[in-house]
Structure 1
Amino acid sequence: MHRVQRLVIHGHERAFVKVGTGPVLLLLHGLGCDHHTWDPIIDRLARRYTVVAPDLLGHGASDKPRADYSIGGYANGMRDLLTVLGIERATVVGHSLGGGVAMQFAYQFPERTERMILLAPGGIGPEVTPLIRAVTLPAFTWAMKVATLPGLRQANVAALQLLARSGIPQTRDLAEVAAIYDSFKDRATRAAIAHVVRACVDWRGQVITMADRAYLTAAMPMCVIWGTEDMVIPASHAEIVRQIAPGAEVDYVANAGHFPHRDHPDRVVKLINDFIRTTEAPEYHRDDWRDMLLGGPVGPVTPARAGDRPLRPVRRPLRRRRPA
């Protein structure tokens, strides 16, 4: 177990774990999770890096106020947390929702981002499990209040955990789903998660897409890791990444679901270490970034789907800084 630290920023308490020494990794968890999602890999990463793993606002031990739960709001919160901790730059590692936050962080604060490492990230294509789309329905809060009544909640959690141990590939993620479902017994958690989902998903799927800004990744080292058996966000989105961000490294983890860092932690740690070791962090120069924004993408920009016409890399990548 790691010591959970707490800081009050903008009047709200933020919980986080900070371990290790070396270059900084900022680990951002997925929807309904908290820093514990990184338990299988955090100590291994801490052998080489300073690891900061926060509970996003509305999750875990952090406060759950009526607040801004947009992706941009989360990115701002992570900038402020790093600032308070005296950290200027970091490699941002995001899973699922956290992957969307990581991309937004890199877009909003390129001067503070060394690399992006995204595990089954949201914000690539519209497809997402119906379970998440259901959170956007008006009846979600009421239905979940009933579903988490004592007795019924325990029975459902036990059933999900049993299915997770069945060995059926399609049920491998249900242990994590059970933990998220169990957390919904708290009214503030239910409300926060509903706000988060409604900010980035509607009944048709994910609303937010990185397609229109993917050309900026030509100046930012990016690695995308996806479990081949992901039942939450389809692994086919990794192929979309290849098309809209041709310079990105894309890796699959076989026999892994939506949580590859939990299914195969050794494999994911190796991919993270290798990517950091073999890439250089970019130096931020405002004029270069301005030129990229003015130049924009080359080719059509539409919501990302497999088979879309790939975008060509931009012509003026940022200058790179060699790792310390």
Structure 2
Amino acid sequence: MPLIDIGDCRLFVRAYGAGPPLLLIHGLGSSGDDWAFQLPAWSRQFQLIVPDLRGCGRSERPPGSYSIAGFAADLASLLDRLAIQHCAVVGFSMGGAVALELALQQPQRISRLVTINSLPSYRVDHWRKALEYHVQMALVRVLGMRRSAALIGKRLFPHPAQQAMRERVIEVIGGSLAEPYLRCARALADWCAADRLHQRQSPMLMLAGEFDYTGLEEKRRWAQQMAAQIRVVAGSRHGTPFDAIQATNRCIEAFLCDAELPDGLSIDAPHEVPREPPASPQEVLLSSVAAAPGEALVMP
């Protein structure tokens, strides 16, 4: 799949399936590969647009600082290039912040919004947030990406049956470059949308792991303030799309299809935990990728 020029950067983008467009935004230190366990299920009903954010995965890494607003603007430009006027969006972790920012920047464009283990503000305004942020930054600087990834993997996936998930964290995050990772982390810590939440127009779902980094009480307060639906996945930590694949897939699919949301969501049982990602569905090729910026790229 080619890189798509959005102006000052080229983004690596893949597309799958057919139907209403659904933009999937990955988390910190990762790439569109975050959605490996969702692609087969969701591509049956939606046309999935799966980019790597600038500085992440296989996208370009232009110099300069990053921002959540800048990531969202990049994706708005990408949608312009793909001639997508309206779409739903799902964001995981940092990708949830980018998804919400996109819905605030272009409220009429986003039909439905889902965030997974994400908040509308990551400002370091509490000692726990300060500790989380500074420890994370220090670990990367002192230990490097691979050793930091090993610690992250143990924290996200502590159960014996989740060994393959831990190994995947080491492979993905451990293979990332430290400086772009730190720039993304700084962008997240600098971002707050609390005073702009009234600009959002689309229905919203917050999917939350029971044992995520941030507590459920805070998430419930934000959900009430944003008039968002919230569902909690029992036993899940921060990596809900990985440790609760079935719950993630059916809950979000129900929301996107305007169906009743399921209750009683929980992590996958030990015997259900996959050892490796499933085979990806066949990619849909983006046409006219050599077109100049400003010309629409049309999905086949």
Q: TM-score, normalised by structure 1?
A: 0.69
| Alpha carbons 1:215, 1:244 under 8 Å: kept | no
Structure 1 residue 210: deviation in Å?
2.9
| Alpha carbons 1:27, 1:92 under 8 Å: kept | yes
Residues 169-198 of structure 1, C-alpha deviations (whole Å, 9 max, x = no match): 9999855653454124xxxx3221222222
Q: Give secondary structure in 2 for the equivalent of 1:268.
A: helix
Counterpart in 2 of 1:244? 225
Cα distance in 2 for partners of 1:159, 1:216 equals 38
Counterpart in 1 of 2:204? 222
Cα distance in 2 for partners of 1:94, 1:168 equals 28
| Alpha carbons 1:173, 1:259 under 8 Å: kept | no
The one-letter code sitting in structure 2 at the alignment partner of 1:87 is I
> What aligned pairs does 1:296-315 form with structure 2 within 5 A after superposition?
none
Residues 184-232 of structure 1, C-alpha deviations (whole Å, 9 max, x = no match): 4xxxx3221222222332xxxxx43332222334x320100011121x3
Q: What RMSD, in angstroms, separates the aligned Cα atoms of the two structures?
A: 3.1
| Alpha carbons 2:206, 2:223 under 8 Å: kept | no
Counterpart in 1 of 2:89? 92
| Alpha carbons 2:140, 2:148 under 8 Å: kept | no
In structure 2, the gaps of 5 or more residues are: 260-300
Counterpart in 2 of 1:182? 174
Cα distance in 2 for partners of 1:237, 1:168 equals 30
Structure 1 residue 260: deviation in Å?
1.1
Matched, 1:235 2:235: no
Q: Give secondary structure in 1 for the equivalent of 2:41.
A: helix
Cα distance in 2 for partners of 1:130, 1:90 equals 37
Counterpart in 1 of 2:62? 65
Cα distance in 2 for partners of 1:200, 1:161 equals 20
The one-letter code sitting in structure 2 at the alignment partner of 1:243 is Q
Counterpart in 2 of 1:212? 195
- Larger radius of gyration, structure 1 or 2? 1
Counterpart in 2 of 1:133? 134
Cα distance in 2 for partners of 1:81, 1:99 equals 17
Cα distance in 2 for partners of 1:103, 1:162 equals 29
> What aligned pairs does 1:283-294 form with structure 2 within 5 A after superposition?
none
Structure 1 residue 64: deviation in Å?
1.3
Structure 1 residue 267: deviation in Å?
1.3
Distance 1:268 1:37, change over 3 A: same
Cα distance in 1 for partners of 2:236, 2:163 equals 11
Cα distance in 1 for partners of 2:93, 2:156 equals 20
Residues 124-176 of structure 1, C-alpha deviations (whole Å, 9 max, x = no match): 46554845434556x954x35xx35xxxx4x7766776787752799998556
> What aligned pairs does 1:3-14 form with structure 2 within 5 A after superposition?
4-14=1-11
| Alpha carbons 2:156, 2:237 under 8 Å: kept | no
Q: TM-score, normalised by structure 2?
A: 0.74
Distance 1:170 1:111, change over 3 A: same
| Alpha carbons 2:86, 2:109 under 8 Å: kept | yes
Structure 1 residue 5: deviation in Å?
3.8
Distance 1:165 1:108, change over 3 A: closer
Matched, 1:119 2:101: no
Matched, 1:195 2:183: yes
Distance 1:224 1:164, change over 3 A: closer
Q: How many residues align?
A: 255
Distance 1:70 1:160, change over 3 A: closer
In structure 1, the gaps of 5 or more residues are: 202-206, 280-324
Counterpart in 2 of 1:282? none
| Alpha carbons 1:65, 1:192 under 8 Å: kept | no
Cα distance in 2 for partners of 1:68, 1:10 equals 16
The one-letter code sitting in structure 1 at the alignment partner of 2:203 is P
Counterpart in 2 of 1:284? none
